[in-house]
Amino acid sequence: MKVALVGATGLVGTRMLQVLEERDFPVDELIPVASEKSVGRKVSFKGREWTVVSAEDAIAAKPQLALFSAGGETSHQLAPLFAAAGCRVVDNSSFWRMDATKKLVVPEINGDVLTADDYIIANPNCSTIQMVLPLAPIHKELGIKRIVVSTYQSVTGTGYKAIAQMNTERGIAEKERPEGDPLAPATSLGHWGEYPAVYPYPIDQNILPHIDSFLDNGYTKEEMKMVNETKKILRDDSIAVTATTVRVPVQGGHSESINVETRKPFTIAQIRSLMASEPGVTVLDDPSHNVYPMPLYAWGKDDVFVGRIREDFSQPNTFNFWCVSDNIRKGAATNAVQVAQLLLEKGLI
């Protein structure tokens, strides 16, 4: 089994390597791919070093599977070339998600859509994944009429440079992070050195209601991703979705405040039970003992955590809940590897 990893030196790429190893995915030969300036670098996987190669060399090696996490334009250019060589591509960028000819997959929800004809498979937006996972059984049982979501998204969603910007503003030294994990919190103060800012304003001690670029309708691309991807994954264009996405100065994962109107009446006990029935969802909902999901708790885990589940008294058939997930794992790397595992189970690689 030859597996190419495009974007192997990036934040999500390094997590993909970790998840592949944790899940004992059968990789006989790893083909790490990165930008031209990174060719020749080494990455560690399963106790050995692998040399980063160019995309051209990776395609020539004829891998059966390629995991992509290198941005939309890279996916646009390279994914069809890998696919033409007979390689299944699981792409983490936004480029293919709303293409009508490509599947957008959260394995627990709609893994059944994958067929032998699918050579480029899209991984959904991180914020969408963690929202639709607990909502899928509710939609199946009660029907979802409307979703209002506000996100509180970690700087890790922007990558290494965003972590550097925040920690530079905090005066935290890169060398003082626990070794072996770029997302782990630093242990003391120091100095990061000179890093270019990736946000238009400081992120430490601040909140930015701005993720991705603004569109003519006043929403950002990130907000419209949540609107459109939710309908595609849940296979229901009638669901009304509105989103406000916000960047917050945390590293543990993304959080979301979600208001849901259903077509049928429910009890809160029923909502808790339906959410708990979904694989990959953990209910943490005991406010009387201060039990509720938090980014610090979700960090490094694959589950989506839900809590603060309560009725919305302002209108019928509506409830609120709080949702947290590690956006680099289930929101990106883990979901992509789960898609690869599903392809393997179906005999497609």
Model pTM greater than 0.85?
yes
In tens, the pLDDT along 179-219 reads: 545 555 444 334 445 567 899 898 999 999 999 999 999 99
In tens, the pLDDT along 261-299 reads: 999 999 999 999 999 999 999 999 999 999 999 999 999
User: Structural domain boundaries of the chain?
Assistant: 2-124+332-345, 127-157+205-327
Q: Which CATH superfamily is domain 2-124+332-345 in?
A: NAD(P)-binding Rossmann-like Domain (3.40.50.720)
Catalytic residue numbers, as ranges:
126, 254
- Average pLDDT of the segment spanning 25-43: 95
Q: Candidates 3.90.1150.10, 3.90.550.10, 3.30.360.10, 3.40.50.720; correct CATH number of 127-157+205-327?
A: 3.30.360.10
Number of Cβ within 10 Å of residue 161's Cβ equals 15
Beta bridge pairs of residue 66:
4, 89
In tens, the pLDDT along 49-104 reads: 999 999 999 999 999 999 999 999 999 999 999 999 999 999 999 999 999 999 99
